[in-house]
Amino acid sequence: MSKPIYIINGPNLNLLGTREPEIYGHQTLADIEKLCAIAAEDLGYNIRFFQSNIEGELVDFIQEAGSQGSVIIINPAAYTHTSVALYDAIKAVSIPCIEIHLSQPAARESFRRRSYVAEAANGTISGFGVKSYLLGLQAAIHLLEASA
Amino acid sequence: MSKPIYIINGPNLNLLGTREPEIYGHQTLADIEKLCAIAAEDLGYNIRFFQSNIEGELVDFIQEAGSQGSVIIINPAAYTHTSVALYDAIKAVSIPCIEIHLSQPAARESFRRRSYVAEAANGTISGFGVKSYLLGLQAAIHLLEASA
Amino acid sequence: MSKPIYIINGPNLNLLGTREPEIYGHQTLADIEKLCAIAAEDLGYNIRFFQSNIEGELVDFIQEAGSQGSVIIINPAAYTHTSVALYDAIKAVSIPCIEIHLSQPAARESFRRRSYVAEAANGTISGFGVKSYLLGLQAAIHLLEASA
Amino acid sequence: MSKPIYIINGPNLNLLGTREPEIYGHQTLADIEKLCAIAAEDLGYNIRFFQSNIEGELVDFIQEAGSQGSVIIINPAAYTHTSVALYDAIKAVSIPCIEIHLSQPAARESFRRRSYVAEAANGTISGFGVKSYLLGLQAAIHLLEASA
Amino acid sequence: MSKPIYIINGPNLNLLGTREPEIYGHQTLADIEKLCAIAAEDLGYNIRFFQSNIEGELVDFIQEAGSQGSVIIINPAAYTHTSVALYDAIKAVSIPCIEIHLSQPAARESFRRRSYVAEAANGTISGFGVKSYLLGLQAAIHLLEASA
Amino acid sequence: MSKPIYIINGPNLNLLGTREPEIYGHQTLADIEKLCAIAAEDLGYNIRFFQSNIEGELVDFIQEAGSQGSVIIINPAAYTHTSVALYDAIKAVSIPCIEIHLSQPAARESFRRRSYVAEAANGTISGFGVKSYLLGLQAAIHLLEASA
Amino acid sequence: MSKPIYIINGPNLNLLGTREPEIYGHQTLADIEKLCAIAAEDLGYNIRFFQSNIEGELVDFIQEAGSQGSVIIINPAAYTHTSVALYDAIKAVSIPCIEIHLSQPAARESFRRRSYVAEAANGTISGFGVKSYLLGLQAAIHLLEASA
Amino acid sequence: MSKPIYIINGPNLNLLGTREPEIYGHQTLADIEKLCAIAAEDLGYNIRFFQSNIEGELVDFIQEAGSQGSVIIINPAAYTHTSVALYDAIKAVSIPCIEIHLSQPAARESFRRRSYVAEAANGTISGFGVKSYLLGLQAAIHLLEASA
Amino acid sequence: MSKPIYIINGPNLNLLGTREPEIYGHQTLADIEKLCAIAAEDLGYNIRFFQSNIEGELVDFIQEAGSQGSVIIINPAAYTHTSVALYDAIKAVSIPCIEIHLSQPAARESFRRRSYVAEAANGTISGFGVKSYLLGLQAAIHLLEASA
Amino acid sequence: MSKPIYIINGPNLNLLGTREPEIYGHQTLADIEKLCAIAAEDLGYNIRFFQSNIEGELVDFIQEAGSQGSVIIINPAAYTHTSVALYDAIKAVSIPCIEIHLSQPAARESFRRRSYVAEAANGTISGFGVKSYLLGLQAAIHLLEASA
Amino acid sequence: MSKPIYIINGPNLNLLGTREPEIYGHQTLADIEKLCAIAAEDLGYNIRFFQSNIEGELVDFIQEAGSQGSVIIINPAAYTHTSVALYDAIKAVSIPCIEIHLSQPAARESFRRRSYVAEAANGTISGFGVKSYLLGLQAAIHLLEASA
Amino acid sequence: MSKPIYIINGPNLNLLGTREPEIYGHQTLADIEKLCAIAAEDLGYNIRFFQSNIEGELVDFIQEAGSQGSVIIINPAAYTHTSVALYDAIKAVSIPCIEIHLSQPAARESFRRRSYVAEAANGTISGFGVKSYLLGLQAAIHLLEASA
C-alpha cells in the first residue's frame, strides 16, 4: 500500500471549535481529522494526522513524513510567520508539501503577511475553513499522481 | 439557471504554453478554459472566462461579475502585487472571490510577497499549475453552496 | 465661451451608490455629474465629466484637459496611491489640477497614506462625500479666476 | 443662536504675510480672520479664531471647541506631522473636524507626507492659500447641516 | 526580410515637445519616430513604433514583438517604476529588450530609483534625450548581430 | 514628613469620563486624584497631582518632582510616543519614575508601539484603567522603600 | 472554590537568582512562587505556577488556564518579542491575561521593543523585579472582581 | 546700537549643572549666560538669553528674534530631533541661525541622529560643552559681519 | 577530570547526510559526534553531544552546560536567526560559547543575515562543513586554556 | 586639437577576460582600450584610458579630466553603489559624465540597485558588454557636439 | 614645543575655489591652509595640513596624528557618510578629534544625514565655510587646554 | 613548492597592540605575522602577509593572491561592512577565501552586522583574537587539501 499522507497541524489548532469561531469555524480538529480520513479513503489513500503546539515537534513530524509519508499537508498556524525551522525542514525532505490555512492570513494583522512556509512549500491553500483541508488533500493527490 | 462563475485572468496569461514553461507549464489558456468549462459542467455550473492585459479591464470584469456572476476566480498575475484598483473592485462587489496562481509567488522574487488581491479575497490557491484553476472551481462552488 | 472644467473619475467610481455605501454614500456617479453640472452652470462654467477604470485612459483625459480644458478636478480613487503615470500627466499639463476624494484616505488602510497625485496637484479636498466635488468646483474656479 | 465654528491655527501662522510669501501668500492671519468672519456671517454662522505656537494650547482649543463649538477647522501647520496629542484631542471631541493647509504638504519635504491630524479629521482641504479657509468654512457648514 | 525592431513608448510620451521641455527636449514623438526609421534604414533594418498610455497595451506590444519582432526598445516612462506586468512581459518573450529613457531617472524624484523594467531587460540607456533612442537602436542591432 | 509622590498627567486626560469611555472608562481625572490621595494616605504618603496638555509643562512638573518629590508616576498619554523632552527630563532627575497608561497602547494604533518614556522610566503599568494609577502608587512606594 | 490564577514563566526564568542578577535580582523562581502563593492566599485566591523553556508548552499552559483557570499572569521572557503562537493562544482563551516582566524591556536591546504578548494581553507590568509578580496578582484579582 | 544676538535654550537646559554632569558638565545655565554676555560685550555685541521647556515658546523666541534680533543661536535640546515647528520657525525668519549642542548627539542614542533644526540652520556646533556657546557666538558674529 | 565540552545541535541537523548534501555534505550527525569525540580525546578533553529540533530543549542544554560543562559549541541552525531565547540562555550562563555553522549563512537567503546567537556568543565559525566542528573544538579549548 | 575623452575604469576591471566571463565576457581591458581608441580615432577624437582599484585614484582621474579632458566615461564597477566621493567628484567638474556598465546591475544582487554615480552623471549605459564602452563613446561625442 | 595640530582634508577638497562655489565658497585649500597656519601661530600652535582623495590615506594621517599630533581637525567630505574605516581610526587614536564641514550636510541630499565621523569625534562644526576651519582650531585648542 | 597562503589585513590593523586593547588584545600585527609564519611552516606551508589601510590595495592583494597564492585569509576590518569592491574581488578569483575577525562584530555597533565579505567568502571565523588567524590557517589548509 502507498505511504500515507501526513497532515500536520500547528499551535492552538487543538482549540478549534472553541477558539474565535467567527474566524475559525465551529468544527473541532477531531472532526476535521475524520473528514480528511473519509475523503482520503474515498480516493484510495490513507492519512496520518498530527497536532502540536511545539515548533520542534512539527519539525519532527515533517521529518517523519519525509521518510514514511508520501506528501505533507501542513497548517502551520502561528509558526507560519516566524519559523525558519519549518522552512528548513520542508526544504530538507524530498516529498511535496502543501501549506493550508483555515482563514486568510493576508487579510488579518500585518505580521501575518510573511509566510516562511509558503517560501518552501509547493503550494498554498487558504481561506476556506475546513474545506482548505479537503482541497489540500486533492492538491496533494494531484501532486502525487503527477509525479508518479 | 444559476449565474455563471467568472474566471478572470490577468496580464501575460494569454502567453501560457509558450512563456517560461518551466514555471508555468505547457498548457495554453484556451486549454485551461476548456478544462474549467468541463469541470464546471460536471458539477452543474457554467463559467465565463476572460483575459486581459489591462488592469482596468480586469476591474470591469470584476464589476460585471458583481452583477451577473455568482463568484469570482481571479488569477491576477503581475497585478497581484501592485493593484489597489483590483483590491477595491473585489471589496466593492458582494460576491465571493478566490485568488489563484499557477506558480508559488512567495518562492520567487521578493516583490511578489505582497498580494493586494489576497487582502481582499476570501481565499487563495497557489502553486499547483493548471490544477489551481480546478481547485479554485471547487472552492468557488463550496462557497456558493455554503452561503446558499 | 471659456474652456470647460474637466472632472475625471478613477476606477470603481462607476459603482458609486452600490459599493460600500457606509464609506462612499448612496448617490450614483450620474447624480454627482448632474450636481456638478448645475453648480458649474450657476457659476458661469461648464464641465466635462469622465470615468474610467483604466489608468491610461485617465492619463488620456488629463492630456485632453491640458489642451481643451481650463482646470482638472480628479478623483483618482485606487490609482491615487500607485500611479506615477498620473503624477507625470498632471505635471505635464500646464493647467491647474485639484485632487478630490469622497472618503478620507489617511484614516483607512495604511497603503492609502501616500498620494502620488497629491504630490503633483495644486490642492486636495477629501472626506466630504459628494460635497468634495462641489468644493472642488469652487476651488477650481478660484484658481482660474486667481490666475486670470 | 448656534454654537460658533472654531478656527484653530498652529505654529508660525502668526507670521503669515511676512513668512515665505512665495509659499504662503501675502495676507496676514488677521486678514484671514476677517475674511472668515464675514464669510461665516453671510451664511448665518459666527466664528471663534485662535492661534498658538504651543501644541498643548491647540489641544486646549480643540477641547474648548468640543464643549462650546459646533465644528472645528484646524490648520495644524508643523504639528500636522508630529502630534499624536492633536490626533487624540480630535478623536476625543464629538464634533466634526476639518484639517486645512495653505500649501500642499505632499508636494514639499518628505517629512510632511504623514498627517496625524488627517487620520483623525473628517476631511482635509489643502493647497488653496487663504481660499482653503473659506472652503473649509463651507465644508464645516455642510457637515453641520448634514448632521442637523 | 528580417523582423522589425519594436520601439515601444509609455505614458505621456505622446506629449513630447510640449511637456517640460527643460527635462525632455523640444522634439515630438513623431520627430523621434522619423529619426529612428531613417537611422534603422541606414543600417538595413526597419522599425515599428508604438505609444500608449495604457500599461496593458504596452504589454500587448511587447507580446506582439515577441512573435513578430526581432528586438524590443522600450521607453516605459512612468511604468518603469511600478509595473510588474511589463517585467513579466519582457521575461516572457524570448527576444532581447533594451530600456531607454530621455532623462536620467536616478537624478530625479526618489521614487524613480527602482526600475522593474531594468531588472528584466538586457540593457539600459538613459539620459541622452532623443539620442537615447538612436543609441538604443545601435545596441539593439548589436544584440541581434551578436546572437545571429 | 516625606516628600510627596508626584502624579503627572499628560494631554487630553482632563477629558476623562467624557472621552471615548469604551477605551478610557467613566471616571473623571478628579475622581482619580481623590482615589489616589486616599490610597496614598492609607499607606502613609501624600501626593501632588498635575495635568497639562503642554509637553513643556510636563517637563516642568518632572523637574519640580526631581527637587521636591520622592517619586514620579506619569501618564504621558499622547506624548508617550513622540517626546524626547520627557525622556530627557526623566533621565535628568534622580528619583524613580513609573509610566502608567489607562489603556494598552500596544494593542492600538501602530504609532503607539514606541514609548520614549518607557525607555527612561524604571517601570511601566498599562491596561488596567484607573487601577493602573493605584498599582502605580504601590509600585512607587515599593521603589521608595526598596531604596530607603 | 474559585478557579486558580495561572502564573506562567517563559525561557531562562528557571535560572533566576543566578543569571545576570544586576538585571534580574537575586531571588529564585521558587522564592517568587512562594511569595505569590502567600500573597494570593492572603487575598483569598490560589495559584498555579509554571515554567518552561519551550514555547509550545507555554501555549499548552495558556490553553489549560483557559479551561481551568480564572486569569493568566505571564512572564514570557524571550518569547515576548518573537512569539505569534503566544499571541494566538492568549487571543484564543476567554479569560484575562496580564503580561509581566522583571526588567524594563524598552530600556534594553532594540529587539526587545516589540511585544507580541502585549498586543494580545489586557495589561502589562514591567520593571519592578519580583514586585512585578505581586502587582500582577493584584491586577489579576482586580480584573476578576471587576468582571464578576 | 545693533540688534542683539538671541541665544535660545530648549527643554531641560535649566537643569544644567545638576543633570548628568558626566555628559553636560557642571556649569549652570546662568553661568553660561554670564560667559556669553561677557564674550559678546568684548566683541561689541549684546545678547538676549532665553530658556523654555515649551516647544511653542521656543518658536515665539525665534519669531521675536526674527524682528528684534540680528542672529539666533539655539540649543534646541530634545526638540532637535522631533520639532518641525522649530524647523518652520527658523525657515520663516530672515536672520541667520546657528544650532549648538553641549554634547555630541550623533554619538548617543540612535534617535538623536536626525536634527530637524540642522536642516534649517546655517550651521551647527556640537560637542564642546559650554565652549559650544562661545564658538557659536563667534560664528554668529562672523555671519553678521560677512553679510554686513 | 575537567567538565565536558557541550556540543549542541539545532533543528534538522539530525537529517545530516540525507538533507541537501550539496549544501551540508554527506556525513551524518553521528559521524560528526565520533569525529569530535576523537579529536577532543586527542587533546585531553571529553564532549557531550546533543541534538534537538525544539528551541526550548536547546535552551535546556545550554543551561545544563552552564552548570556541568566547561564551554559550549552550538550549531543553532534555523534558530540562529529567530531565537531571542537562545540569546538569553547564552548570556545567562557564565561559560564561553562558540557558534558554528556547516554552511555560510551570509551567502544564502537574506533572512539568514542576522544571528541572535552571534550577538551573544564569544565567537563564530561558519562555512567549513564538518571542519567547522573541529575548528570549534580547538577554539573552545583555546578559550578554556586562555581563561585557566 | 580637442581635449581627450577620459575613460575611467573602477575596481577589478583589470581582471577582465579572466573574471566570471559568463557575466563580463572574454575580452581584456587592454582589448577594450584598443577598441575604444580605434573607434574614437575614426570619429576624430582621442582618448585617455585609466584603471584603478582605489576609489580615491578614480576621484583623481575625474578631477584631471575636469581640467584636461572634454568628457568622462566611467565604469565605476563596485564603487557605483557605495561611493559618495565619486558622486561629489562628478558634480565638481564641469564636463559631462557618462556611466557605463558591462553587465546590468539592476538584474543582479539587490545591493547593486542604487547607483550614486547615476545620480550625478548625465546618462547611463549598461548591459551591453564591451559594446557599452562604444555606445558610451558615441554618447560622449554626442554630448560634446550638442554643447559645442 | 608642543605637537602640531593635524588638519586633514578629504576627497575633492583639493578642488576648492573651483568646485560649486555657491556651496563651498571661492577660497582654495591653499588659502585655507595659510589662514589656519596664521591663526594657529597667533595662538601659539603650529599645524600640519593634509589632503587626500584616498580613504586609506586619511586613515594613515589620522594614525600619524595619533602618535605625532596633539589633536585632529578633519573635514572628511564624502567619506563622512560612508567610512567605517575613518570611524575606527578616530576611535583608535587617543587624541581628540573635531569634525568640520564647509557646508551644512543636513540641509543637502538625504544620504548626507548620517556621519560615521560624528559618531567617533568629540565635536562637530559645520556650515560656516572657511570659518568652520578657524572655529575648529579654537575648539581644538580649547580641548587641548581643557585636558592639559 | 606550493603557492603561498595570502593573509591580508585591512585598515587600522597596523595599530594592533596599541588600539583599544580591551577589544583587540595586546599583540602587534608583526607578532601575528610571526605566529602565522611559524604555524604555517609547521604544517608545510608558507605565507605572505599584507596590510593596507587602502581598500583598493586590499583589492590588489586579493587579485595577486588569485594568480600567485593558493588561498586567502582576510581580516577586512572596517571594509567588511562597506566594501562591494572586496566582495567583487573575492568573487573574481578562483581560490578559496576565509574571512577572519579578532573581535565579534555582531556583538558591537549595529552597522557591523552586515558583512559583504562574508557573502563572498567560503567561511568566516570571528571573535577569538589572534587565535582567529591560527584557526583561519587551519581552515585554509583544510580547504586546500579537501580540493587537492
Within chain B, strands assigned E span: 5-9, 47-51, 71-75, 97-101, 123-126
Which chain F residues have a beta carbon less than 8 Å from that of D59?
11-12, 53
- The one-letter amino acid code at I87 reads Y
C-beta neighbour count of E64 within 10 angstroms: 16
pLDDT in tens, I107-131: 999 999 999 999 999 999 999 999 9
Q: What is the mean pLDDT of residues A130-143?
A: 97
pLDDT tens digits for H41-69? Answer: 999 999 999 999 999 999 999 999 999 99
Q: Share the mean pLDDT of chain I.
A: 95
One-letter amino acid of L61: F
Phi-psi region of J52 (alpha: psi -120 to 50; beta: other; left: phi over 0): beta
Residues 6+ apart with CB under 8 A from J24: J16, J102, J103, J129
pLDDT of the residue at L1:
57
Question: What's residue E47's pLDDT?
Answer: 98
Strand order in the sheet with B5-9: A47-51, A5-9, A71-75, A97-101, A123-126, B123-126, B97-101, B71-75, B5-9, B47-51
Hey, are the CB atoms on H82 and F82 less than 8 Å from each other? yes
Three cell numbers written together for G117? 504578548
Q: Which residue has the higher pLDDT, F49 or A24?
A: F49
Burial F31-51 (b: 16+ CB within 10 A, else e): ebbebbbebbeeeebebbbbb
Quick: pLDDT tens for I4-19: 999 999 999 999 987 6
Distance CA I103, CA I25 (A): 9
Contact L82 K87 (CB under 8 A): no
Does residue K45 have an active-site annotation?
no
I142 is annotated as an active-site residue:
no
**Distance between J17 CA and the closest CA of chain L, angstroms:** 11
pLDDT at C98 over 60: yes
Using CB atoms, which chains have 3+ pairs under 8 A with E? B, C, J
Averaged pLDDT score across all residues of chain F: 95
Contacts for F109-115: CB closer than 8 Å, 24+ residues apart? F110/C110, F111/D84, F111/D116, F111/F81, F112/D84, F112/F80, F112/F81, F113/F81, F113/G113, F113/G114, F114/F81, F114/G113, F115/F80, F115/F81, F115/G106
CA distance A13 to chain G (A): 10
Chains within contact range of chain G (3+ C-beta pairs < 8 Å): A, F, I
CB contact under 8 A, I55 and G55: yes
Q: Which chains touch B (3 or more CB pairs under 8 A)?
A: A, C, E
* pLDDT at residue number A28: 95
Q: Does C115 touch chain D (CB under 8 A)?
A: yes
At how many degrees (to 10) do helices J131-147 and J29-42 cross?
40
By Cβ distance, the residue of F115, F123, F128 closest to G128 is F123
The CATH number assigned to the domain with range G5-147 reads 3.40.50.9100
Distance from CA of I122 to the nearest CA of L (A): 6
E83 touches chain B (CB under 8 A): yes
Specify the amino acid at residue D97: C
Per-residue pLDDT of chain K (148 residues; tens, 9 = 90+): 589 999 999 999 999 987 677 766 789 999 999 999 999 999 999 999 999 999 999 999 999 999 999 999 999 999 999 999 999 999 999 899 999 999 999 999 999 999 999 999 999 999 999 999 999 999 999 999 987 7
Cβ within 8 Å, pair D124-C115: no
User: Given this model, what pLDDT does residue J83 score?
Assistant: 97
What's the burial of D44, exposed, middle or buried (CB within 10 Å: 0-12/13-18/19+)? Answer: exposed
Nearest residue to A6 (alpha-carbon basis) of A145, A148, A144: A144
The DSSP bridge pattern shows strands E123-126 and J123-126 to be antiparallel
Given pLDDT bands bounded at 50, 70 and 90, which one contains residue L75?
A: very high
pLDDT exceeds 90 at position J113: yes
Does J131 reach chain E within 8 Å, measured CB to CB?
Answer: yes
How far is the C-alpha of F10 from the C-alpha of F12, rounded, in Å? 7
Interchain pair G125, F125: CB under 8 A: yes
Which chain G residues contact residue I120 at CB under 8 A?
none
Q: Select the residue of L57, L63, L89 nearest J54 (Cβ to Cβ).
A: L57
pLDDT of residue C103: 96
User: Distance (Å, rounded) from C-alpha G131 to C-alpha G120?
Assistant: 22
Dihedral of alpha carbons D13, D15, D21, D26, sign = positive
Per-residue pLDDT band at H25 (split at 50, 70, 90): confident
Q: How confident is the model at residue H2 (pLDDT cuts 50, 70, 90)?
A: confident
Residue A7 pairs with which residues in a beta bridge? A49, A73
Q: CA-to-CA distance for K99 and K84, rounded, in angstroms?
A: 15
Residue G1 confidence (pLDDT) above 70: no
For E109, the closest chain J residue by CA position comes to J119
- The yes-or-no verdict on residue H1 having pLDDT over 70 is no
* Model confidence band, residue C21 (pLDDT cutoffs 50, 70, 90): confident
The residue type found at F64 is E
Domain extents in chain C: 5-147
Residues of chain B with C-beta less than 8 angstroms from the C-beta of A131: 139, 142
User: What residues of A are in contact with residue G78 (Cβ under 8 Å)?
Assistant: none
Q: How confident is the model at residue E100 (pLDDT cuts 50, 70, 90)?
A: very high
CB H72, CB H97: distance < 8 Å: yes
User: Chain L contact for I118, CB < 8 A?
Assistant: yes
Q: Please say whether the beta carbons of F114 and F91 come within 8 A.
A: no
Instruction: Mark yes or no for CB contact B135/A132 under 8 Å.
Output: no
Per-residue confidence (pLDDT) for residue A1, from 0 to 100: 57
Amino acid at K69: G
Are B131 and A139 inside 8 Å of each other by CB?
A: yes
Q: Is A28 helix (H, G, I), strand (E, B) or coil?
A: coil
Confidence band for L19, pLDDT divided at 50, 70 and 90: low
Whether the CB-CB separation of B93 and B121 falls below 8 Å is answered with: no
**Neighbouring residues of D38: CB distance < 8 A, sequence distance ≥ 6:** none
In this prediction, residue I17 carries a pLDDT of: 87
Contact D12 H57 (CB under 8 A): no
What average pLDDT score do residues A85-99 get? 96
* Cβ of residue K32 closer than 8 Å to a chain H Cβ: no
Please give the radius of gyration of chain G, using alpha carbons only, rounded to the nearest integer: 14
Q: What's residue D113's pLDDT?
A: 94
Task: Decide if C78 and B91 are in contact by the 8 Å CB cutoff.
Answer: no
CA quadruple B17, B18, B19, B25: dihedral positive or negative?
A: positive
Residue F146 has what pLDDT?
86
Is residue L112 very low, low, confident or very high in pLDDT (cuts 50, 70, 90)? very high
Test the H interface: residue of K125, K142, K143 with most H CBs within 10 Å: K125
| Spans of chain D below 70 pLDDT | 1, 19
Which chains are adjacent to chain A, needing at least 3 Cβ pairs under 8 Å? B, G, I
Rounded Cα distance between H35 and H133, Å, is: 9
Model confidence band, residue G26 (pLDDT cutoffs 50, 70, 90) = confident
Q: Judging by DSSP bridges, how do beta strands E97-101 and F5-9 pair with one another?
A: unpaired
CA distances G95 to A109, G10, G65, Å, are: 22, 19, 8
Residue E1 has pLDDT above 90, yes or no: no
Instruction: Report the distance separating Cα H75 and Cα H128, nearest Å.
Output: 13
Are J89 and J64 in contact by the 8 Å Cβ rule? The answer is no
The residue that leads in pLDDT, A23 or J3, is J3
Does J86 have pLDDT greater than 90?
yes
pTM score, two decimals?
0.95
Nearest CA in chain J to L54: J54
Q: What are F100-130's pLDDT values in tens digits? A: 999 999 999 999 999 999 999 999 999 999 9
Which residue in D56, D63, D84 is closest to F82 by CB distance?
A: D84
Grid coordinates standing for H127? 560637542
CA–CA distance, K13 with K36 (Å, rounded to integer): 15
Residue ranges, chain F, pLDDT below 50: none
Q: Express as a percent the part of chain G with pLDDT over 70.
A: 97
The H or E element spanning position C39 is helix C29-42
pLDDT band at E18 (very low <50, low <70, confident <90, very high): confident
Summary mean pLDDT of chain J: 95
For chain I, the straight-line distance linking the first and the last C-alpha, in angstroms and rounded, comes to 14
Reported as a single tens digit per residue, the pLDDT across A33-43 is 999 999 999 99
> I54 to chain G: which residues are within 8 Å by CB?
54, 56
The three-class DSSP label of residue K102 is: coil
Instruction: Catalytic residue, from J6, J45, J79, J101: name it.
Output: J101
**What pLDDT score was predicted for residue H8?**
98
